[in-house]
Structure 1
Amino acid sequence: MTENMWDFQEETGFQAGTDLSGFDVEAIDGRIGKVDKHSDEVGAAYLVVDIGGWLFGRHVLLPAGTISSIDLEKTTIHLSRTKEDIEHAPEFDKNRHIADDDYYRQLTGYYGAPHS
C-alpha cells in the first residue's frame, strides 16, 4: 500500500478512467454528499464533494487516500473518515486548489496519512 494521501489506494477498487462524478459519498457513520468532480492524476488524485445539499452547496476537497472502497455497481464511495471529520474539513477553494503549496499542505495536514 502506498502512503501517499493523494493517490487511490489499491484496495479501494478504483479503476483508472472511471468517472466518479455523481457518486454518493458515505462516511463511516453515514451519507455526506455527492461527488461534484474528481481527478485521478497520479500523486494528485482527489474528490470534490458537495456536502451542503442543493441550497447551501458547501464543497470539500478530499484526497483520494481518504477513500476506503468504491462500489461501482451502487455508485457509492466509502470513506475512512467520519461525518464530523468531513464537516470540519477545510472548504474547497477553487481559486487555490492543490496547485497552491500552502493549501496542499493544509489539506495534507488535516487528513494525515491514508487509513487502512
Structure 2
Amino acid sequence: MTTDRIWSYAQDSGYVEGQDLEGFSVVASDGTIGRVGRQAAPHGMGHLVVDTGVWVFGRSVLVPVGVVIGIDTEGRRVTLACTGSEVKAAPRFGTDSETRDREYLSAVGAYYLRLAATA
C-alpha cells in the first residue's frame, strides 16, 4: 500500500464520492469500536474521526480512509481492516486542530501503513 493509498478509499470499499458517513457504526475485525463523528480530507488526506465513547477507549480516534474495507449503507456500518487494539495503539488523537496538522496526519498514516505491511 503506497502512502497515498492510505488516505483514499479502496475502489472495492463501497464508498461513493460525496457520501456522508457521519453517524455510521465503525466495526474493526474484532468488533464495534464506535461511530463516525466526522470525515475530512485536508491536504488530500482523507480520514474519519471515530467517537469511541464507552465502547472501547472513551476517546476519539483518527482513522485514514484507506483502512476502510467495506461500507454498508443499509446497515449504516463502516468496516475496518484492523483490530480495535490496533486502532487504540495508533498515534493519540487529542484535538480537532490535529485533523489539519500535516505532521500528525503523516505519523498516523505511517502507523497504518506499517500495519498493512505486516498483514
TM-score normalised by the shorter chain: which range applies? Answer: 0.7 to 0.9
Q: RMSD of the TM alignment (CA)? A: 2.6
> Residue 48 of structure 2 contacts residue 65 of structure 2 at CA under 8 Å; is this kept in 1?
yes
What whole-Å deviation, never above 9, does each CA across 1:80-101 have from its counterpart, x for those lacking one? Answer: 000100111223231222x323
Which deviates more, 10-19 or 99-108? 99-108
Q: Which runs of 4+ in 1 moved over 6 A?
A: none
Q: C-alpha separation between the residues in 2 aligned to 1:34 and 1:22?
A: 6
Matches within 5 A, 1:14-53: 14-39=15-40, 43-53=44-54
Matches within 5 A, 1:14-93: 14-39=15-40, 43-53=44-54, 57-92=58-93, 93=95
AA aligned opposite 1:85: E
* Higher fraction of helix: 2
Q: What SS does structure 1 have at the residue aligned with 2:9?
A: coil
> Residue 65 of structure 1 contacts residue 113 of structure 1 at CA under 8 Å; is this kept in 2?
no
AA aligned opposite 1:96: E
Percent of counterpart pairs with the same letter? Answer: 37
Equivalent in the alignment of 1:108: 109
> Residue 66 of structure 1 contacts residue 114 of structure 1 at CA under 8 Å; is this kept in 2?
no
Number of aligned pairs?
A: 114
- Calculate the TM-score normalised by the size of structure 1: 0.84
Q: Give unpaired runs (5+ residues) of structure 1.
A: none
- Calculate the TM-score normalised by the size of structure 2: 0.82
